[in-house]
Amino acid sequence: MLWEYLKQHMLLHPDHRIEDETTCMTFSETIRKAEKTASLLTPGRYAIRCRSEMNTGIAVLGCLAKGVTAVPLSARYGELHCERILQLTEPDFLLTDDDGDLQVHPLKTFADGSSAYSAGANSDAAEEQCALILCTSGTTGIPKGAMITEENLLANLADIDAYFDLRCSDRILIARPLYHCAVLTGEFLISLLRGVNIRFCNAAFEPMQLAAQLAKEITVFCGTPTLLTHLARVAGRVSASYCLRLIVSSGECMTAKAAAQIRKAFPAVRIMNVYGLTEASPRVAYLPPELFDCHAESVGYPLRSLEVRVVDKNGMEVPSGTVGELIVRGPSVMKGYFRAPKATEKALAGGWLHTGDMACMDAEGRIRIKCRRDNMMIIAGINIYPQEIENALRNDPRVQDVLAYAAQEDDAHPHIAIRIVCDHMTSDEVLKLCRACLPAYEQPTEIHIVQALQRNASGKLIRPKGGTKHE
């Protein structure tokens, strides 16, 4: 169903292209390659681990064409992470491009050597229906496999189509791995539907290379605020003029400082914030470009097919401006986590997806994300949101990056710690800055000046779990 829908739209622009640094194919050629891949497949779950993101996209399309479950992986996360996902999702086959072309490798066999298809006694209706198993980032814990159906994807694509100002004359640069639902659905699949020319780039955290790619007639680019600020710093060194007309920010909360830096580098570009999570296929909210300069720290309004509430710990809706957990209900919400009934029951309690994101909603219905519920710190009985500390410190031009978290030594009470990347600042100077811009209850008692902060392949900060001992 989804494949035929995509195929029909791609055939409207048969000569439009998908390319990377080494390969270029028209939409017509992409269709043929996806269907050739589909002809190699039999029922089962297919893990996809390709060196080329372009091949990952074709493999996913092949799985959609065959009606089998795809489990995208990302080589950028390393072998250990891939092995964890393989153990979690128990795929029957592995699709790779080690020799350039897509190849199928059985991962399960019977004693007679024939391939084993694991659906059956251990599977349920949700497993049978899912088109994708997309794993959460696992930045603060073990990843979970969200089961996403074709109906979920179609609903979310329709919502994205309603706000995403893509044109068939556009050329989008995709620099993040398709392992992420935000990239797979919100960049790749929607671009196929809109007839947008697609260029893949594997230089996600190499700003100079990205800037050079953007100078090649790219009109649309999506990235995290961190990636976009790094890009803003170097963009002028590469080209005095870009064709870029639209930037989409996701994956992290935008700060006022980051927004100002991006706007200064790209003064004529339309910029929008979007918010989502894997379990929602992924998009939940968006901030229109015309509101970006005034409300850059907001993720905007819920998508048209979704109901969104902010609730307290008892599930009661809170007043405007009050922080609570964001919950979501609608046709793009996943069917559950793969073979994790307890986690599914908790996440979908009461028929709502409990996002785990602490947020507030203003009187106009705009959403502002504060932090992950698991990252919220409780210090001396006060709820403290690490992003508020981080945003305040990032406003100082000497601060390049910062991470706030709860540290705990032995049986002592937890306290606020920060890791900070800064220019020519001593610990005393950092402490002075904290006293100047933070209220007393948000003052860190532990400061670590570091060269860089650890991030995953999508640019998200890897946070210590709240209340853990400092390493």
Output the CATH code of domain 2-367: 3.40.50.12780
- pLDDT at residue 218 is higher than 70: yes
Please tell me the predicted confidence (pLDDT) of residue 12: 98
What is the rounded average pLDDT of the residues 63-71? 97
- pLDDT at residue 114 is higher than 60: no
Please tell me the predicted confidence (pLDDT) of residue 118: 52
Please tell me the predicted confidence (pLDDT) of residue 414: 79
Give the rounded percent of residues in the chain with a pLDDT score beyond 70.
89
Please tell me the predicted confidence (pLDDT) of residue 459: 65
What is the rounded average pLDDT of the residues 379-389? 73
Q: How confident is the model at residue 71 (pLDDT cuts 50, 70, 90)?
A: very high
Please tell me the predicted confidence (pLDDT) of residue 410: 62
Per-residue pLDDT of 227-279, as tens digits, reads 898 899 898 888 777 899 999 999 888 888 889 999 999 999 999 999 999 99
Per-residue pLDDT of 317-368, as tens digits, reads 999 999 999 999 999 999 999 999 999 999 999 999 999 888 999 999 999 9
What is the rounded average pLDDT of the residues 23-45? 97
Please tell me the predicted confidence (pLDDT) of residue 380: 60
| CATH fold of 376-449 | GMP Synthetase; Chain A, domain 3 (3.30.300)
Which residues, at least 6 apart from 334, have a Cβ–Cβ distance to it below 8 Å?
A: 146, 147, 148, 152, 278, 279, 280, 281, 353
Least confident of 106-120, 295-309, 452-466: 106-120
- pLDDT at residue 411 is higher than 70: no
What is the rounded average pLDDT of the residues 1-24? 96
Please tell me the predicted confidence (pLDDT) of residue 381: 58
pLDDT, mean over the chain: 88
Per-residue pLDDT of 304-314, as tens digits, reads 999 999 999 89
What is the rounded average pLDDT of the residues 16-36? 97
pTM summary value: 0.82
- pLDDT at residue 458 is higher than 50: yes
Please tell me the predicted confidence (pLDDT) of residue 220: 98
- pLDDT at residue 111 is higher than 90: no
Per-domain boundaries in the chain: 2-367, 376-449
Give the rounded percent of residues in the chain with a pLDDT score beyond 90.
63
Output 297 or 204, whichever has higher pLDDT: 297
Per-residue pLDDT of 116-148, as tens digits, reads 555 444 567 678 789 999 988 654 456 789 999
